[in-house]
């Protein structure tokens, strides 16, 4: 799998912007406290946690789409949506979590099954990452619990069967596979919010 210079730049900018947006959100930073926050040790800590949880979850989700698309002989590349990245940062400051940082675009001939598997790869990656963060919570409770929660929420959200989200593509390919992926993801996300 190769990444060109622009794709690397888009992935890095999206990763950093999401880290900043979620650092603002988790630390409840408001516009009038941005400068003191950015100059504080709390900023470094919040950025590291956000980059390692939300950022890694996002990056590997998108790269999973790309890897599976390439496996099916597709041309595939990630493209950041800079406008939506600014919305994510502003949302973090407003206390609202909403992020649509970009997407992997691919071209080539695909069957419905292949298209569905490309879509499913991202949420499945988030579920695997959530499982990897469980043992992390034993020695780094904030990092581990946030990694579990964020990745379970990313999986469930992306499996919603609406618009351009992965769930709509998976459901259009195979309803049974969709239900088998979405129902556990949704239940795990609810558990993460209320019980983890």
* Domain span including residue 96: 1-109
Among 66, 81, 109, where does a domain finish?
109
Q: Is 62 noted as a catalytic residue in this protein?
A: yes
| Same-domain pairing of 26 and 89 | yes
Query: Does residue 81 sit in the same domain as residue 6?
Result: yes
Catalytic-labelled residue, pool 10, 56, 57, 62: 62
Rg for the chain, CA atoms, rounded: 17
Instruction: State what percent of residues in the chain have pLDDT above 90.
Output: 76
Provide the terminal-to-terminal Cα distance of the chain, rounded to the nearest Å: 36
Whether 89 and 170 map to the same domain: the answer is: no
Q: What percent of the chain has pLDDT over 70?
A: 99
For the whole model, what pTM was predicted?
0.90
For residues 103 and 164, is the Cβ–Cβ distance under 8 A?
yes
Domain end position, chosen among 109, 127, 142: 109
Tens-digit pLDDT profile for residues 55-108: 999 999 999 999 999 999 999 999 999 999 999 999 988 888 878 889 999 888
Residue 33 shares a structural domain with residue 101: yes
User: What pLDDT, on the 0 to 100 scale, is given for residue 98?
Assistant: 79
Residues 9 and 97 in one domain: yes
pLDDT of residue 196: 62
86 shares a domain with 171: no
Mean pLDDT to the nearest integer, 37-65: 93
Burial of 138 (0-12, 13-18, 19+ CB in 10 A): exposed
Once rounded to an integer, what is the mean pLDDT over residues 109-132?
96
For 8, 46, 82, 131, the CA distances from 19, given in Å and listed in that order, are 16, 8, 14, 21
Q: Which residue has the higher pLDDT, 169 or 29?
A: 169
In the chain, the number of structural domains is 2
């Amino acid at each position: 799998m190769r990444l060109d210079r622009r794709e690397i730049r888009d992935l890095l900018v999206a990763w950093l912007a999401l880290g900043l947006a979620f650092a603002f959100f988790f630390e409840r930073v408001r516009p009038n406290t941005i400068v003191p926050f950015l100059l504080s040790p709390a900023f470094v800590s919040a950025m590291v946690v956000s980059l390692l949880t939300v950022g890694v979850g996002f990056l590997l989700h998108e790269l999973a789409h790309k890897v599976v698309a390439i496996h099916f002989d597709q041309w595939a590349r990630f493209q950041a949506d800079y406008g939506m990245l600014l919305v994510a940062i502003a949302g973090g400051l407003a206390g609202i979590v909403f992020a649509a940082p970009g997407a992997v675009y691919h071209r080539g001939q695909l069957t419905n099954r292949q298209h569905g598997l490309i879509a499913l790869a991202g949420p499945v990656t988030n579920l695997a990452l959530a499982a990897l963060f469980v043992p992390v919570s034993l020695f780094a409770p904030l990092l581990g619990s946030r990694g579990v929660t964020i990745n379970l929420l990313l999986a469930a959200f992306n499996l919603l069967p609406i618009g351009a989200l992965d769930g709509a593509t998976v459901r259009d390919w195979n309803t049974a596979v969709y239900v088998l992926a979405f129902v556990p993801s949704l239940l795990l996300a609810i558990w993460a919010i209320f019980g983890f």
